[in-house]
Structure 1
Amino acid sequence: MYKINYKAVVFAFILQMLVGVLWYASTPIEFLGRLSSEQGTNIPSVAVMTVFPLSVIAYLMFTAWLLVKAKGLSGIGRFSLVVGTWLFIFFPNAVFVSLHLDLNQIEVFYLLSFGIVNCLIAAIILPLWQPSRSIFRG
């Protein structure tokens, strides 16, 4: 019986949080609507700092659960499954953001780029790092 590798989930979570900090720190000034002469930083609210990690851990746990339920797939098949689920999320979001928000293509790509990086981190770490199997189960 396959189980979720919680070490891989925690490792992917830490990597995704580091990428999230870098992604937020590299936000273009024009995108935030700040004046280029303004040097202050916008610190996210407590709600954002709480919801952001919770959404990342929920995404990772769902992906790990999905990979456990998808038995009989090779490493490439599991990688493709993670990327495929991300594509089903990405394309509707890209269409919705393009239609309902007044953003150009670069801004839409920036908004959705964090998902690309998170997907690649999860697609590389979770399928390839299987939980250890011990003969000494209790």
Structure 2
Amino acid sequence: MPKGEGKLIAQNKKASHDYFIEDTYEAGIVLQGTEIKSIRAGRVNLRDSFARVQNGELFLHNAHISPYEQGNRYNHDPLRTRKLLLHRKEINKLIGESKEQGYSIIPLKIYLKNGFAKILIGLGKGKKKYDKREDLKQKEAKRDIERAFRERQKM
């Protein structure tokens, strides 16, 4: 199964707007008891989250997983730091590439695959303001072309 296949739970749409994604990795997430139930319910937000390598391990910061409604006292902290599971070679590669200036490790998607929560992380280089404007112009032009094509087919 290719990377990123499974039941999509949450997606970081802002990531492709703010970063050039150069490489992606599929990682597992270490979760507490009620977190997986909240993820299955789709109560996840990746907007301001990022990943960082600490002591040779990869950790996810600022990912908001809402507390489970029926969790009572067993609930978790919504913004806690979560460990990501990757092979040692992949972590070493990420360490080397993220040390370069301007590179960040960004979570792109959370999805369920074979009953397990997986996260697709990307190695991205930050876009400048003019890059973002250029992307918006290209999207707008593409949209206009498709609109004109549809109008032409109706006639």
Q: What TM-score range do you get, normalising by the shorter chain?
A: under 0.3
**TM score, norm. by length of structure 2:** 0.25
TM-score (norm 1): 0.27
Which protein is richer in strand relative to its size?
2
Structure having greater relative contact order (Cα 8 Å, sep ≥ 6): 1
> Which has the larger share of helix?
1
